[in-house]
Amino acid sequence: MTEDKNDRAAWLQGPSARCKVEPKPVANPWRLVLLGPPGVGKGTQAALLHARLGACHLSTGDVFRAARHRNDCDQTPAMRAAFERMRFGELVPDATVLEMVRERRACLCCGGGFILDGFPRTVGQAKSLEEVLQKEGIPLTGVINYELPVSEIVARLSGRRTCAFCKAVFHVSERPPRVADVCDDCGGKLFHREDDRPEAIEIRLQAYDESTAPLMEFYRTLDLLVPVSATGSPEEICARTVIALGEKTK
Ligand code: AP5
């Protein structure tokens, strides 16, 4: 792992862990939510935006996947049930997600800001997040909604490879690692996510339409929604995002 890369230990392992590199507190930290269907490129953009804006990349999917690789005794029955649902592409129940995020509340209050990826994913989760942020007096800067046709989404998911160690994301043809199945950033082994099977992709897209798409209206009403096209290279999309955020915060 490179020195400047935030290891997100407090987020991934829980509040008792300390991040090796903590984001520097800044006057007006970016506090962003990334919305968009599975596979649109939220994780890829979060990593690029972290490099550009400094805020920490907080993915709920990464927390669940990290917990899965921990000792069985450390896993609660609710967590084990959550892993089963993830395998099939279904959403984890709100109660489990919210408990996990509440335990990591300090990451939301971090002086370097945050980029939430995969949370909130239901209107119930979005309302809980609003309550927490209002209580802490830390409003969101914006909610980026990435848009892409379904055919491109399926192609991105089918070719995705993820680093088992640092969670960096690659694609077999669009963003191949320098050495096959080895992470460019940390040398970790790349794996094909279980929920990237065609049957699970279909269920995830359905869950997105039913539970997550209504969040667009929720955040539009709060005047926080920033639509961004997710076509083109990751760097082009990142540049587009930064411009759209600049317009939003003018
Ligand atoms: P999560 O891990 O959040 O997955 P997701 O939302 O389905 O999103 P993905 O990680 O699949 O895609 P992405 O948009 O980040 O795309 P990526 O950058 O990787 O959640 C997994 C599961 O956990 C859920 O199904 C649920 O069960 C559970 N869960 C998590 N949070 C939850 C919550 N809050 N509530 C309930 N359940 C929850 O890119 C995809 C691929 O495309 C990569 O290979 C990448 O290299 C490639 N790519 C990216 N950008 C481009 C580009 N511009 N051009 C070409 N290829 C590109």
- Name the average pLDDT for the chain: 92
The Cα–Cα gap between 64 and 68 comes to 6
Instruction: Encode pLDDT of 26-64 as tens digits.
Output: 889 999 999 999 999 999 999 999 999 999 999 999 999
Q: How far does the centroid of ligand 1 lie from the alpha carbon of residue 27, in Å? A: 30
Instruction: Encode pLDDT of 159-185 as tens digits.
Output: 999 999 888 999 999 999 999 999 999
* Contacts with 55 (C-beta within 8 Å, 6 or more apart), sequence order: 23, 29, 30, 31, 32, 49, 112, 113, 114, 115
Q: Which residue has the tokens 């119930």?
A: 124
Q: How far does the centroid of ligand 1 lie from the alpha carbon of residue 108, in Å? A: 20
Residue 101 Cα: closest atom of ligand 1: 34
Q: Which of 50, 92, 101 to mutate to test the pocket of ligand 1 (most atoms within 8 A of CB)?
A: 92
Q: Is 96 left (phi over 0), alpha (psi -120 to 50) or beta?
A: alpha
Q: Which of 169, 202, 203, 212 to mutate to test the pocket of ligand 1 (most atoms within 8 A of CB)?
A: 169
CB 8 within 8 A of CB 117: no
What is the percentage of the chain residues whose pLDDT exceeds 70? 96
Q: How far does the centroid of ligand 1 lie from the alpha carbon of residue 48, in Å? A: 15
* Under-50 pLDDT residues of the chain: 1-4
Amino acid 4 reads: D
The Cα–Cα gap between 250 and 238 comes to 18
The Cα–Cα gap between 195 and 205 comes to 11
Residue 119 Cα: closest atom of ligand 1: 34
pTM above 0.95, yes or no: no
Is 5 close to ligand 1, i.e. is its CB under 6 Å away? no
Residue 175 Cα: closest atom of ligand 1: 46
Amino acid 30 reads: W
